[in-house]
Amino acid sequence: MTVLTENFRLANGNLIPKLALGTWQSSVAEAYEASKIALANGYRHIDTAAAYHNEDAVGKAVRESGLPREEVYITTKVPAELKTYQEAVKSIDNSLKELDLGYIDLILIHAPRPWSLMRDSGDNDFKKENLEVWRALEEAYTDGKVKAIGVSNFSIDDLQNIFDHGTMKPMANQFIYHIGRTDDELVAFCQDNDVLVEGYSPIGTGRLLGNTELQAIADKYDKSIPQLAIRYLLEKNILPLPKSVHEKYIIDNAKVDFEITPEDMATLDKF
């Protein structure tokens, strides 16, 4: 049993592979090649988004892999800028068309506010608008277009809005999480409410590389800093989404079948 064959279980009972290949900032060609490499080396979960403009490349790689559709898990997202029911419905259908895989395993609202307003939303918290988008996701789930629904970059307040007014709870919340940038209150809230936490940029978009303190801890396990950083999330029952377009790193990022001691976890928590 390796991380690539292990799963988390979502609130609806569906299994989701514990490690995913991220494709943010990957061109169409890069996403296609990276997805091909990942699938050939045991990955069974690929994360994309409408905003990445590479859904078609991911879908093509899956179709050409020869793997049964049900063995590959695909996550995508409705763009943060789309905040009406009709826009969301159209986006979901377009993602289905771009991926061309029959259905979507997990679809998320990419962010609670348009990206240009994420730091300062002014008087509009987009609570009402997010409920409209959520209604579109719920309908897609009921219709069988998607197998699970969730959110991304949602705070406790944003989640509570869905809990209070939606008919279903989000099954996942994907947000940035890595050594030195953690949000234990949000993680605890999600996990207490059976919302799977997915952590993007687990290597800190490269900022953790070269850190001598981290290297010393990684050396104890004969692992690299990226491998230590990815394992750190898994130890917290958080699904990591490392992104790479290089074959060596894609393969190495999955070699995380080790355990970090409680003492080292406590040290990492203090970064």
User: Which residues are annotated as catalytic?
Assistant: 52
- For the chain, the distance separating the N- and C-terminal CA atoms, rounded to the nearest angstrom, is 31
Any residues with CB less than 8 A from the CB of 199 and at least 6 apart, and which? 174, 175, 176, 177, 178, 233, 238, 239, 240, 241
Cα torsion angle, 24, 242, 238, 12, sign: positive
Residue 19 tokens read as 């490690």
Measured between alpha carbons, how far is 137 from 120 in angstroms, rounded to an integer?
26
Any residues with CB less than 8 A from the CB of 192 and at least 6 apart, and which? none
